[in-house]
Structure 1
Amino acid sequence: MPAYVIAHLRQPGTADDEVYEYLERIQATLDPFEGRFLIHGGRTRVLEGSWPGGTVMLEFPDFAAAEAWYASAAYREILRLRTDHMVGDVILAEGCGPDHDSAAMAAELRAAG
């Protein structure tokens, strides 16, 4: 299953050299783990609730690859360039496959519950 790192940057940082350096260096940390950007800023429209700030979503081939990327020395080396300047939440979530069936999931949950 693919895995996704999702960042909700509630207070995007001010444009400064460290943020630019983070942006310049992050792709090189993703490449060894086959990570790629699916969302990187861009337009957002809130449909329900509130979502102040911006969104970033990375895709990895699986959960283990995403965990390995986040724990890698290369990413750890640049992490503070973001965290020192931006307030937000970051999660790792396992995706569902192309055959996912929410009705079947409901039936399984109903049967188990």
Structure 2
Amino acid sequence: MTGRGYAVGHLRDVQMGPQVQHYMERIESTFEPFGGEWVVHGTRPEVVEGSWPGDLVIIAFPSVAAARDWFDSPAYQDICHLRSEHSDSRVVLLEGVPPGYRAADTIAKLFA
């Protein structure tokens, strides 16, 4: 069994204005049909080691395939420029670990 999928955004220097407001008003309607839900949004991280400029956004999906389908969807592609043109941002899609995952099991397999 695979883990959930995540869309993770690192946003810096967001130029708050009508375009970003419009993006934020519409984004949920683009990911909800793909089973997406907010995990992290609108909070600054508490940096406990190193530095972290900007904000972090995480949206969870049932799978990384669902996250990819959302990102590629016409509805999201129609608004994503509102974010990218008004911030210094990076977005990645990644697969979470499956239920019951243990780091020790991975290490044991690597050294077997």
Task: Decide: shared fold, TM above 0.5.
Answer: yes
Q: Which residue does 1:103 correspond to in 2? A: 104
Q: What are the ranges of 5 or more consecutive residues in structure 2 without an aligned counterpart? A: none
Displacement of 1:42 in angstroms is: 0.9
**What is the distance in 2 between the residues matched to 1:99 and 1:10?**
34
Please name the residue that 1:62 is paired with.
Answer: 63
Alignment of 1:19-34 (within 5 A): 19-34=20-35
1:69 CA displacement = 0.3
* Mapping for residues 1-113 of structure 1, pairs under 5 Å: 1-11=3-13, 13-111=14-112
Is the Cα contact below 8 Å between 2:11 and 2:87 reproduced in 1? yes
Q: Which runs of 4+ in 1 moved over 4 A?
A: none
The percent identity for this pair of structures is 42
1:60-100 CA-partner distances (Å, limit 9, x unpaired): 00011000000000000001010010102111110012200
SS in 1 for 2:47: coil
TM-score of the two chains, using structure 2 as the length reference: 0.93
Matched residue count: 110
Shift of 1:50: 1.4
Mark the runs of 5 or more structure 1 residues left unpaired by the alignment.
Answer: none
With the length of structure 1 as denominator, give the TM-score of the two structures. 0.93
Alpha-carbon distance in 1 for matches of 2:66, 2:32 = 11
